Structure 1
Amino acid sequence: MDVTPLGKAARRGLAEEAADRVRDAIFAGHFAPGAPLREVELAASLEISRGSVREGLAQLEREGLVHGGWHRPTTVVEVTPADVEEVYSVRAALDRLAATTARSGATPGDLARLDELVDTMAAEVAHADGPRLLALDIAFHDHVYAAAGNRRLTDAWQAVRSQVYLFQLQRVSLSHDHYRSRVVTEHRELATLLRDGDPDALARVAEEHVDSARRSLLTDLAKSRRA
């Protein structure tokens, strides 16, 4: 049997680390939407080769977090109303399914972890910055998906997670006070319904949680464009 030559396998450890570090910097608010990501500067900062940085940025492009092109600089994606509509409509459907599935499969430990995350939000909401609260927010939803125990559902969440994170970060940046006023209450309600709530009510609340975020971000984007 003929064997198709595939060439030497590349070691991807440094590229994956580059992707992780740049992603973390974006989620921490160090690179805003539209900000350029220059290979030379990133390679020097991370003390790795430009090739590893290039591979890492390619991974982030597949996640929908950055974009580039031939003879065009790589930049963090801009948040547009059309993209918001697409991403949040997908997320609403996924979150609804994740919540209702987790309600029947979550362990007492899963539920305790969700309560712990909400308690941490409540304890920090008065003084934490936006990226910190958002990290707790996303961690809550990560845990709901994990508790659902559906690998394909989790894969679908991971496919949009980076874009959701970036879009929510823009929402927090444009309207931090509004986000901060709602983050604890909304997640507390979800945690309560996941424990012993009516399944139909949980489905509605999970979907409305996402739709509320969508409406808020679209309103804030419109205001920022008029300013």
Structure 2
Amino acid sequence: MSSVLPKAARRGLADEAADLVRAAILSGHFPPGSALREVDLAQRLDVSRGSVREGLVQLEREGLVRGGWHRNTTVIEVTAEDVQEVYALRAALDRLAATTARRAATPEHLAELDRLVDGMATEAAGAADARRLVALDLAFHDQIYAAAGNGRLVAAWQAIRSQLHLFQLRRVESGYDHYRARVVGEHRELAALLRSGDRRTLARRAEEHVDSARRSLLADLPA
């Protein structure tokens, strides 16, 4: 018996709308708490309100915006409660990703980690672009998850990545010198431990790396 398979879904305007709005949020164009109005966004992006609506639903699933029935969609605020929850989850995920990548990483994965740390060092040594430094930081962790080779683990990371990106930008905004002083050394140590460190030390340092970020961010937020 033959059956007709549905055609593969193509990337559409809703995905593009989500990408563009996400980029605008992470660039600071829409700061935390900003209202995102469908009509305005549809006009500015030159797409339908339906595409914008679907794109905002995607960003809501990522935890980057909040909406509700008869309520404006807004960019999430950076609250202590959200930070505690997201970084607790990240600590567990990063520990598993690092210890899994230690076994599964290829020389190409490890070389890419070194390249990203070198990029951080170049940025941090000069008149660094804080947003560029945060982007390299997240790209480093993207690579660890890719090296782990676990699709479900990558999906769990992607589910919180946008929130983490926003939180890290808030952290840098409130304490850039502290972040710049630590970011290269901490990531270079993780890259070295992925090559030759013992599993327990790697797991501990992966969690401590996340906890350092959490504490730094919370220090500047109201309780």
Q: TM-score with structure 1 length normalisation?
A: 0.90
Q: Does 1:24 align with 2:23?
A: yes
Matches of 2:71 and 2:82, distance apart in 1: 21
The Cα of 1:12 is off from its aligned counterpart by 6.0
Matches of 1:90 and 1:51, distance apart in 2: 33
What SS class does the counterpart of residue 210 from structure 2 fall into? helix
Q: Deviations over 1:64-113 (max 9, x none)?
A: 11011222211100111111111000000000010011011100110000
Gaps of 5+ in 2: 1-7
Aligned to 1:167: 167
- Does the C-alpha gap of structure 1 residues 203 and 39 become closer, same or farther in structure 2, counting only changes over 3 Å? same
Matches of 1:196 and 1:29, distance apart in 2: 39
The Cα of 1:189 is off from its aligned counterpart by 0.8
Aligned to 2:14: 15
What SS class does the counterpart of residue 73 from structure 1 fall into? strand
- Does the C-alpha gap of structure 1 residues 147 and 12 become closer, same or farther in structure 2, counting only changes over 3 Å? closer
- Which is further off, 110-119 or 186-195? 186-195
Aligned to 2:191: 191
The alignment's C-alpha RMSD in Å is 1.6
What SS class does the counterpart of residue 190 from structure 1 fall into? helix
What SS class does the counterpart of residue 79 from structure 1 fall into? coil
Matches of 2:61 and 2:133, distance apart in 1: 26
The Cα of 1:39 is off from its aligned counterpart by 1.7
Alignment of 1:1-227 (within 5 A): 13-125=12-124, 126-222=126-222
Count of residue pairs the alignment pairs up:
215
- Does the C-alpha gap of structure 1 residues 71 and 189 become closer, same or farther in structure 2, counting only changes over 3 Å? same
- Look up the equivalent residue of 2:35 and give its one-letter code: P
The Cα of 1:10 is off from its aligned counterpart by 9.0
What SS class does the counterpart of residue 74 from structure 1 fall into? strand
What SS class does the counterpart of residue 72 from structure 2 fall into? strand
The Cα of 1:40 is off from its aligned counterpart by 2.1
Q: Deviations over 1:156-196 (max 9, x none)?
A: 11111111111111111221221111111111111111111
Gaps of 5+ in 1: 1-8
The Cα of 1:45 is off from its aligned counterpart by 1.8
Q: Deviations over 1:93-146 (max 9, x none)?
A: 000010011011100110000000000110112322221111100000000000
Whether the 8 Å CA contact 1:34–1:76 is kept in 2: the answer is yes
Q: TM-score with structure 2 length normalisation?
A: 0.92
Matches of 1:39 and 1:92, distance apart in 2: 35
